[in-house]
Amino acid sequence: MIEQGIGAKFQEETKYDPYRVRKPGDSESIPPAEPFKNYENPVAVFSLPDPDLSVGANLWEILRKRRSRRRFHTERSLSLESLTRLLWAAQGATQRYGRTLFRTAPSAGALYPVETYLSVRSVAGLAPGVYHFRPQAFDLEQLRDRDHSIDLARAALGQAMVADAQLTFIWTALLGRSRWKYRQRAYRYIYLDAGHIGQNVCLAAEAEGLGSCMVGAFFDDHINALLGVDGTEETTIYLSCVGIPVHG
């Protein structure tokens, strides 16, 4: 018998059936959220170079080679060019339709509730710190200076690879972007969206000759505090550390 905890209750109560998919007026009480997030007073804003996408890579070979890699060369730096391709793979804009910016990863209803942040330890040409990625401008807003990788590793249940990696992606969910349309079902879609983005980063890292490892175990509110988000309307849902791998 399956234990009926909160996870099982969530799964049951967010099911669709023919009699309760949506009722008229369901979406009227929650206004749509803004599609893009901008900070009023970031420490700095760094424009990123256009990603060079001409570098060839065989998708099938990348899929075959993809592994979670947890050991990194701590004394080396990631190139800015690699970072731009990783960010483009995560949430790069591929087409605009009105206010909607279609991305490299799919999103339920094209609502894109997932925001991308970076904890940068060692990237050539970019100061260590915590950054927010804006896909609409393809730039980075610096939210905190100095290296926070050790703080982040502690928040990730002490996983040393987070401290050693050249950078760590942090993904949050702005719940209101999806909730106005999908109500309680939105939570399922948000985690699916994050998975699509995470896989894109895994494959892009492999194509760059880098290592990556997805992280789902962390103290949520410790990372929310690092980012300065409230943990209610916007909350951390997924991490991926990326770095120059130690092979063997």
Q: What are the tens digits of pLDDT across the range 42-97?
A: 999 999 999 999 887 899 999 999 999 999 999 999 999 999 999 999 999 999 99
In this prediction, residue 57 carries a pLDDT of: 85
Q: What is the CATH number of the domain that holds 231?
A: 3.40.109.10
Residue 42, in any domain of the structure: no
| 231 torsion bin: left (phi>0), alpha (psi -120 to 50), beta (else) | left
In this prediction, residue 12 carries a pLDDT of: 87
Task: Give me the residues paired with residue 229 across strands.
Answer: none
Q: How many C-beta atoms surround the C-beta of residue 25 within 10 A?
A: 7
Residue 46, in any domain of the structure: no
Residue 147, in any domain of the structure: yes
Residue 53, in any domain of the structure: no
Residue 5, in any domain of the structure: no
Q: Which helix (H) or strand (E) holds 5?
A: none
Report how many domains make up the chain. 1
pLDDT digits (tens, 9 = 90+) for 173-209: 999 999 999 999 999 999 999 999 999 999 999 999 9
Angle at 194 between CA 189 and CA 200, to 5 degrees: 130
Identify which has the larger pLDDT, 234 or 8: 234
In this prediction, residue 20 carries a pLDDT of: 64
Residue 107, in any domain of the structure: yes
By residue range, what is the domain housing residue 227? Answer: 68-243
Closest C-alpha to 193, from 72, 130, 108, 136: 108
Beta-strand relationship, 114-120 and 167-174: antiparallel
> What rounded mean pLDDT belongs to the chain?
93
Residue 229, in any domain of the structure: yes
Indicate whether this model's pTM tops 0.85.
yes
Distance (Å, rounded) from C-alpha 146 to C-alpha 72? Answer: 20
| 149 torsion bin: left (phi>0), alpha (psi -120 to 50), beta (else) | alpha
Q: What are phi and psi of 110, to 5 degrees?
A: 50, 40
